[in-house]
Chain A
């Protein structure tokens, strides 16, 4: 079954999601990767206001290609989330609800996801052209000088995602592999 989810992502919506669920996400999300995260954490430490209020919001780890003339968005699949692990727990503690990326997360992030009722979604790595099509509006809202790493506010429609880490502490990267091995009895 595919779950349709609309942002803002409330705690109730998060509790309805389980690792392995396939989701079509619509609404507003924000982009941010390495450099933007570093800057945001600096701003928090200096007591400054963040470029957007993270409460009940989702950050998508992506650095898109430049759009062609007359296009809204270029190609934009997920980047490796692990590089944002150092920053994610802090943002979750401030109310960030969801993260979209690809790849393993550290225990500290998984614990923060459970503690603050968050969720980690996987987008399909390498499906940049396909995912780019889900973006209906795009506006750079901060750090324009960072080029592909700037923070963008995106309006997406039916962005295909899979729940990797849910608020109950399950991790699809572990479950999926085990399930496959069990079905094919390789787990001797």
Chain B
């Protein structure tokens, strides 16, 4: 049994909220660099140049990469042998509150979604997903999500008979619908299988996967590559101004599903694909 104090979690979540918003993950930075080198059109190249410069500037001045510092999505993997002194959920929410306030991050959450829509003024509540794992470690991933791209994500319950072609058509449709609204180049996560709720979570997790890594099953790996190539042939390009780089990456996560179903979810993220994690 390992004991972790509430205060440790507050401090770590606070730090992760700020770092995630100031410092673009290495893999995303690298992908932007590479895209910049590969682009040939003037406007596309200049756009990627500004995005590159923007990320460097944000990092060196510890400023938010993007003004939409997102709704804070948090993935927690908690070992069965961990004991938290106090409340884990409250500690996480407190970390978000302090992180956003003290880090000069934008507060973008409203309390009632339909009627009142009043800003909570501290960016809480965060959305927290818990997973129980073996062992005595606690892993926290903080992934602030902007809604320009979140609004462009979609889920569809396909018929099993629609198969691979159905998946391809749907992914391409989502990318076309998203276009310039999602601040391309995009980072795309695709979930296949599970149920209505599970598939969207798979897509979210896929979006967090390191760029350049692939699904362990060769068939899905090939599909990831093929879809990315098709997306980059749409011509949408950086900022939607036309060009080669519509997406930096596409990752697929899968799960067993029901005999009657083929759920597919496409989680769209912009190039500001933020996430930072800690293992305690």
B88-112 near A? 1/0 per residue, CB < 8 Å: 0000000000000000111110000
Are A181 and B181 in contact (CB-based, < 8 A)?
no
Q: Chain A contacts of B64 at CB under 8 A?
A: 65, 74-75, 128-129
A-B interface pairs (CB < 8 A), number: 156
Among listed B48-56, B155-163, B247-255, interface-contacting one: B48-56
Assembly CA distance A181 to B43 (angstroms) = 15
Of A10-18, A50-58, A106-114, A168-176, the one with at least 4 CB within 8 A of chain B: A168-176
Per the 8 Å Cβ criterion, residues 186-240 of B in contact with A are 233-237, 239-240
Q: Whole-angstrom distance between the alpha carbons of A68 and B61 in the complex?
A: 11
Bound CA span A130–B61, Å:
11
The verdict on B25 contacting chain A, using a C-beta distance below 8 Å, is: no
- Contact A74 to B63, CB < 8 A, known contacts A65-B105, A80-B181: yes
Taking a contact as CB atoms under 8 Å apart, the answer to whether A102 and B180 are in contact is yes
Q: Which chain A residues border B271 with CB–CB below 8 Å? A: 126
B180 engages A122 (CB within 8 Å): yes
Chief secondary structure at chain B's binding surface:
loop
Contacts of B241 in A (CB 8 A): 20, 122, 162, 172-173, 176
* A186:B235 contact, CB within 8 angstroms: yes
Task: Evaluate contact between B148 and A128: CB separation under 8 angstroms.
Answer: no
**Do the beta carbons of B119 and A147 come within 8 Å of each other?**
yes
B6-14, B66-74, B130-138, B257-265: which lies at the interface: B66-74
Question: Does the CB pair A75–B66 fall under 8 Å?
Answer: yes
A28 at the interface (CB under 8 A from B): no
A1 CB, min distance to chain B CBs, angstroms = 10
- Chain B hits for A20, CB < 8 A: 43, 241
Listed residue (B121, B148, B239, B271) with the most chain A CB atoms within 10 angstroms of its CB:
B239
Q: Please name the residue on chain A nearest to B230 by beta carbon.
A: A186
A74 pairs with B180, CB closer than 8 A: no
Assembled-state Cα–Cα distance A64/B67 (Å): 5
- Quick check: B239 and A102 within 8 Å, CB to CB? yes
- Name the B residues within 8 Å of A82 (CB-CB): 181
B270 within 8 Å of A by Cβ? Answer: yes
Please state if B67 and A75 are interface contacts (CB–CB under 8 Å). Answer: yes
Contact B242 A130 (CB under 8 A): no
What is the chain A residue whose CB lies nearest that of B63? Answer: A129
B194 → chain A closest CB, angstroms = 29
Q: Report how far A136 CA is from B57 CA in the complex, Å.
A: 17
Cα(A67)–Cα(B43), bound, Å = 30
Collect the chain A residues with CB atoms within 8 Å of residue B46's CB.
Answer: 22
The reply to whether B65 and A126 contact each other, CB–CB distance below 8 Å, is: yes
Q: A104–B43 contact, CB under 8 A?
A: no
Question: Is residue B86 contacting chain A, with contact meaning CB distance below 8 A?
Answer: no
For A67, the closest partner residue in chain B by CB is B104
Proximity bits, A117-152, B CB within 8 Å = 1, else 0:
000001011111110110000000000000110000
Nearest opposing residue in chain A for B180, CB measure:
A103
A-B contact pairs, 13 of them (CB 8 A): A63-B67, A63-B108, A64-B106, A65-B63, A66-B105, A75-B67, A77-B68, A103-B181, A103-B240, A126-B66, A130-B53, A176-B237, A177-B240
**Interface pairs A-B: 4 shortest CB-CB:** A176-B242, A125-B183, A103-B181, A180-B235
